[in-house]
Amino acid sequence: MPTVKILNSRCGNSVPVLAKLKDGTDKLGYLDLNTEIALFSNGGTTEKFEGGATANFMTIFRNLRPPPTGLKVYDDLWYDLRYGDTFPSNAVPADGRALNTETGPHMQYVALWYKHGDPVFGRAYPNSAGKTNAHFGKNNQENAGPEVGSMQLLTVPEASCMGLEYKWMPLAEGKSSGWTVVHIGNAAPCILKDEKGLEVLGNLDLTIEKASAGYGGKEKIISGGAVAALKVLFKRRLA
């Protein structure tokens, strides 16, 4: 039988919960998984529950399972994990190759993170122990290390289930050839390349032609006309 993984539907360390409050009404609130404190807004006041009092609250769960062999998948598959978790074997690499970096060729994989609710693409990769490292750039900062917390990796199913084809192309080339940009909101995965030929996987803001990545503690930025030549991830449905 296929392995089934059951996960809370959550954002960061918070999960939605449903509980009966002191006045007998059922209300939706949230539970912090770290502190085991649940908060509910009710009639202009906040009700608080802690520890064991939250054990019987209702929450939402979802199942992640491999699709049946031969069933085509036509949606992007996002794998939920946390910084330091075991790195999956089916993550999508930047341009299908090792990128050129200051320390030599390095594999980088498409990662998605939310900073204050805004989607940001960045790079993730396994460390020497096979655990997940990741870097993101936003608001003139690099976010990396345990502070990243929860993230998602773009993954692919086994070959028999592939309903989508992915390809890295400059933005104009991809659009003119009938492909669709892989994006969440106005953010798309993009490979930044500087004048020295060094490459890093990061984020393209589709509204303002700004590509950026977390690098060296800062947000490395490429803007203006130079963005047009950078490779962006596209997809199309296989016949």
Judged against a pLDDT cut of 50, whether residue 66 lies above it is answered with: yes
For the segment 155-179, what is each residue's pLDDT rounded down to a tens digit?
Answer: 999 888 899 999 999 988 998 998 9
Specify which residues 205 forms β-bridges with. 187, 210
pLDDT digits (tens, 9 = 90+) for 7-62: 455 555 677 888 889 898 888 888 877 677 888 888 878 899 987 788 778 887 66
Using CA atoms, how far apart are residues 144 and 220, in angstroms rounded to an integer? 14
pLDDT at 190: 98
Range of weakest confidence among 33-42, 92-101, 110-119: 33-42
Q: Is the entire prediction scored with pTM above 0.85?
A: no
Question: Cβ distance 99 to 194 under 8 Å?
Answer: no
pLDDT band at 151 (very low <50, low <70, confident <90, very high): very high
d(CA 213, CA 218): 8
Residue 178, Cβ density class (10 Å: 0-12 exposed, 13-18 middle, ≥19 buried): exposed
| Over residues 125-154, mean pLDDT | 96
